[in-house]
Structure 1
Amino acid sequence: MTAMPGLGTPRLASPDLLRSVFRRHAAGVAVITARGDAGPVGFTATSLTSVSAEPPLLSFGIGTGASSWPAISEADHVGVHILGEHQQDLAATFARSGADRFGPATSWHEGPEGVPVLDDVPAWLVCRIAGRVPAGDHRIVVAEVVLGDSTGPGRPLLYHQGRFHGLRD
């Protein structure tokens, strides 16, 4: 392929190309939680999307190889937590494979429908899972908002270029 003026040289589609493009896309950071048979589960997600206002629907992606997938695949409800810039360590914990995500360093409580609800987040929702759509090695989970709170502390946490960041004024 030839270089395009001002655009560089296009590359054929590959997992590396997709990752390198999305490293340049700043995304909000959320933690998704659920009640599992062996206890609470959760993971960091940057794929959270508002889908519909009426009814209130959202979506997120999860890999079928993720440690949280077995619980998410069976759960009726999930918790969706928007993280604040003061919660970079929490985001890293829920993103790290093998981490004790609900250990002493994580402040949480059992919320409605038995969903683990993280404390001190800027916003959280409890959602009823409406569908799980196959998408390659992932599933897109569509969930309907049941209840939540958007009055928590802090400004949003962002993910960009492989790192967590706060907003700049």
Structure 2
Amino acid sequence: MHQSQDSGLHVWQASGSCSPTGLADGEPIAVDAFRRVFRRHPAGVAVITVSDGAKPVGFTATSLASLSSTPPLVSFGIGRTASSWAAVCTAEHLAVHLLAEDQQELAATFARSGIDRFAPPTAWRPGPYGVPLLEDVPAALVCRKVYDLPAGDHTLVIGQPVHAVEGGTARPLVYLDGQYGSVSR
């Protein structure tokens, strides 16, 4: 293993390359075992919203990650069978909303299928680039979508924040072992 330097960035490389190597040979672990392991991993809860041109679209995500600080980038995954998938994949901009511990019902609303997730009591307004912005969330980022990457049965979406909305401080909503909860500070 060696270190390369390019324009001030340090990249660790195993064999002179940092390109994708593909999936591992052999059988992966069983889906049930994979899910059981990740049920033990607490995840922050976010709602992702986009406009499909005619109406607002959104879903609950627990896969949100801060990917890079220079430049700022975030990532999340969305299942390709999700009702929001087509709108997210065609959108140029999206909003990422971080939820507070008292917003469990909002998270549950955006996780339900077959309902109008933006109907009352959901409070929202059009934001920059026409992206739907949820009201009363602790923080939100409006992002320009820069990359979609197929990954198994999901698509990994990478966005570059172009606008921040900072609300009040609140304990974050987390998801652990199939339930919503919070963490203390």
1:141 equivalent to 2:141? Answer: no
TM-score by length of 2: 0.82
8 Å CA contact 1:49–1:59 kept in 2: the answer is yes
What's the TM-score, normalizing by structure 1?
0.90
- Verify: 1:80 aligned to 2:70, yes or no: no
If you compute each CA radius of gyration, which structure gives the higher value, 1 or 2?
2
How far apart are the structure 2 equivalents of 1:99 and 1:134? 27
The residue aligned with 1:106 is: 122
2:172 partner amino acid: P
Structure 1 distance, partners of 2:114, 2:169, is 28
Deviation at 1:153, TM superposition (A): 4.5
The AA in structure 1 aligned to 2:122 is T
SS of residue paired to 1:105: coil
Tell me which of 157, 160, 167 is aligned to 2:173: 157
Taking the TM superposition and a 5 Å limit, the aligned residue runs for 1:61-72 are: 61-72=77-88
1:52 to 55, 62, 68: 68
- Identity, in percent, stands at 56
Structure 1 residue 158, shift from structure 2 partner: 0.5
Gaps of 5+ in 2: 1-27
Q: Which runs of 4+ in 1 moved over 6 A?
A: none
Q: Supply the RMSD in Å over aligned alpha carbons.
A: 1.2
Q: Is the CA contact 1:93–1:101 (under 8 Å) kept in the aligned structure 2?
A: yes
Q: How many residues align?
A: 158
After TM superposition, list the pairs within 5 Å mapping 1:15-26 onto structure 2: 15-26=31-42
Matched, 1:127 2:143: yes
In the alignment, the residues of structure 2 paired with residue 154 and residue 100 of structure 1 have an alpha-carbon distance, to the nearest angstrom, of 27
Matches of 2:147 and 2:156, distance apart in 1: 8
2:59 alignment partner, one of 43, 46, 59: 43
